[in-house]
Amino acid sequence: MNEDIVAVSLFSGAGGLDIASIMAGVPVVSSTDIDSDCIQTLKANEMFKDSDIFEGDLHDIESSVFKACVEKRKANKFIIIGGAPCQPFSKAGYWVGNQTRRGINDPRATLVDEYLRVVTDILPDGFVFENVESLLHPTNKIIVEKFLEIVNDAGYTCKIVRANALDYGVSQKRKRLFILGTKSNFKSDEPKKTHCDPSLCEETGLKPYVNVGEVIQGFEGDKYFEEYEVTKGGTYYEDLCEVPPGKNYKALTAWAGYPNPKFVADKRFWSFLLKLSPDLPSWTITAQPGPWVGPFHWGNRRLRVPEIAAIQTFPKGYKFVGSRRSIQKQIGNAVPCLMGKAMIEFVKESLE
């Protein structure tokens, strides 16, 4: 089979970027991850039946393995996609003191080196690298500078894109950093945005941001009930019921003019008792939410698996394998598919 452009996926997770690549018309020839639940998730979905899927630590997988997958498909061109695990660079880490936050000294930072090793060994025609926006924070910035130096020396033109998922049709405020590279020249200034703030639609000609009520419609029935979603009887259940849709615990403070305040503003993490409004986009879906950390459904319950998957723009009916906790982590760590699609299309366009 002779294919025009294909993708090699590293740090594939549950397949967010892999699905994005398929949506962008770039078939994925190989995927890899260290997490066995993620690997089982990929294998459970029909769309990856023709992909070579490898379970293992990227440190232990030779670059030639990926090159062979591309050659087997007789592809004319190929790209590498992936986001090295980003916990050491996460903004959530700033809540921990600088003494305990390892940042750049975290051994997981070496996974960025592994991504670069595969890129410089097999020299794809382009690449998409994804990470958290705080990778540009002064503490971590040296990683970006070194990354750019290495890929520039290897002959790539790069663009750094600070993206918000909302702009690409994802019903979720989620900021991410992408480093996009091509051996050719980019044909436009940035990946194509499709959505914007409703007040700017007339001026820009783009569609309004997608509201979460529209995206998770149809999953409210008993058929999708999960034990995990139940909040009734919990420590803060009564308080959660008092929070209006679209607000957090601060609605129950003196700051908000609440009679008999239950909490003090700015003394809690902002996502404490955070509740979705059906008429607004969602906040970021996290990989490991605490017991009373949102976003919660406006019906005073936790979100269900098909709801968080829909907010991340996974295709309806996509299968996830593992415990409820593992599935939350897989979905929360994923790149929203529509956001990834815009980035891959931008790189693909430069190669055509």
**3-state SS record for 88-122:** HHCHHHHHCCCCCCCHHHCHHHHHHHHHHHHHHHH
**b/e sequence 215-238, b meaning 16+ C-beta within 10 Å:** bbeebeeeeeeeeebebeeeebee
The H or E element that residue 152 is part of is: helix 141-153
Q: Coil, strand, or helix at residue 29?
A: strand
- What is residue 185's predicted lDDT score, i.e. its pLDDT? 95
Q: Coil, strand, or helix at residue 82?
A: strand
d(CA 213, CA 204): 24
Comparing 89-103, 161-175, 252-266, the range with the smallest average pLDDT is: 89-103
Q: Coil, strand, or helix at residue 31?
A: strand
pTM of the predicted protein model: 0.92
Count other Cβ atoms within 10 Å, centred on residue 259.
6
The answer, yes or no, to whether residue 93 has pLDDT greater than 50, is no
pLDDT-above-70 percentage for the chain: 93
- pLDDT band of residue 112 (cuts 50, 70, 90) is confident
d(CA 251, CA 283): 17
pLDDT in tens, 8-53: 999 999 999 999 999 999 999 999 999 999 999 999 999 999 999 9
Eight-class DSSP state of 14: T
d(CA 159, CA 157): 7
User: Domain map of the chain by residue range?
Assistant: 5-195+337-351
- What is residue 142's predicted lDDT score, i.e. its pLDDT? 83
The CATH number that domain 5-195+337-351 falls under is: 3.40.50.150
Average pLDDT of the residues of the chain: 92
Of residues 349, 253, 315, 341, the one with CA closest to residue 17: 341
Instruction: Give, in degrees to the nearest 5, the angle at Cα 294 between 292 and 300.
Output: 80
pLDDT-above-90 percentage for the chain: 84
* Catalytic positions: 86
pLDDT in tens, 260-298: 999 999 999 999 999 999 999 999 999 998 899 999 999
Contacts of 9 (CB under 8 A, 6+ apart): 17, 18, 21, 28, 30, 31, 32, 80, 81, 82
What are the backbone dihedrals phi and psi of residue 77, each rounded to the nearest 5 degrees, phi first? Answer: -140, 160
